[in-house]
Amino acid sequence: MKKIILFLSVSLFALSLVAQTNFRDITYKEALAAAKAEKKQVFIDFYTSWCGPCKMMMKNVFPLKEVGDYLNARFVCVKIDAEKGEGPELAKRYKVKAYPTFVAIDPDEEVLMTKEGGTFDGGEFIGSIDRLINPDKSPERLQQRYEGGERSADLVSAYAGMKMEQVYQNRRPDMSKKDEAFNIVQDYFNGLNDRERLKEENLFIYASFTESPMDAIAQYMIANRDKFTPAIKDRIEDRIATLYKMEIQKYITAQEPFDQQQYDALKKGVLDLGLNKDNYYTEAFRMIECYGKGDLNAFLSLLEKEYGELNREYKASMMYNYAQLFTTGDEAVKARAVKFLRSLLVDMDAGMLMFVAQQLLILEGKIH
């Protein structure tokens, strides 16, 4: 669930359209011919019209400059609907079992890599593809290079990225792999001087290995935000805004125990950095501060009165974790919380109803 929430948080930010993945409107055979002529490989995005993650990739990931730059330079990119035209036969040939599935082949149709599932992180996506198609970035080779003392940005990014992929390879997440990845990046960061820390090649440190604006590396990024090379300043600013949004989200959904000192520092950062544009956080601050006082009836009164003033993202976040807000409440508080939640069902987006139903079951004691 935390992984889903994180994905939801990150996806809420607008993405640059300066460059984007060039998916060509050509057939499979034409793609092979174009790849041969251009001395490239073929990148196939197998999708379906009903696949939510497929749409997410097209909206949020493929328009990213870094993704477009990487894929366009190496591949002739095509999208193939697995249920239409030549799609079913090709999906069967390449053993596609889930959507989206990404397949890279050479002009002679030899499979270079197959990758199932999408991601909200562009760097993570192209890093994964690069590790799958580059023999020098196989798990064994990456470990060998790292243990041999290599500490290039490319190697550290790939090696730590591989560790992060291993976190969710099995049904039960292996968080020790995440610790390994963050330790690898922290050790690398510690060995850099200020000039090196601001280079474009080290963007991955800030984009993929910061989780809170209170992290030491994030604090360095924030303090030096105006010193980064112009090529990545916008990405740095976006990452800073994302981290603050994610941290506020933890408070508004009670994932973060309320700590007045930490919250005050968080709020000050939002205001000092000018992130409360158009009062984006104003109502969220009111909700958090009311909840932090510990009076759940007062919080419910505020919620009943002003929930509609919350921005769309925080409404969604609160609904996905609604029951968590009232775990310490008595039966009367929980009954009132249920009543309010049920009052919202009529106008609620259909996609949210499944999650809200689960919250109701938890509050009513039917899920323990």
Annotated active-site positions, please? 51, 54
Residue type, 360: L
Taking the C-alpha atoms of residue 22 and residue 1, their distance in angstroms, rounded to an integer, is 33
Q: Which two tokens stand for residue 148?
A: 């041999």
Nearest Cα neighbor of 313 from 225, 249, 222 is 249
Residue type, 264: D
Strands (E), 106-203: 111-116
Q: Which two tokens stand for residue 44?
A: 């196939």
At 76, give phi and psi (nearest 5°).
Answer: -90, 115
Q: Which two tokens stand for residue 156?
A: 């550290």
Residues in CB range of 83: below 8 A, 6 or more apart: 48, 49
Q: Are 217 and 211 in contact (CB under 8 A)?
A: no
Compute the residue count for the chain.
368
Burial of 232 (0-12, 13-18, 19+ CB in 10 A): buried
Q: Which residues pair with 104 in a beta bridge?
A: 43, 113
What is the distance, to the nearest Å, from the Cα of residue 290 to the centroid of all Cα atoms in its chain?
A: 29
Taking the C-alpha atoms of residue 245 and residue 273, their distance in angstroms, rounded to an integer, is 13
Phi/psi class of residue 189: alpha, beta or left (left: φ > 0; alpha: ψ in -120 to 50)? alpha
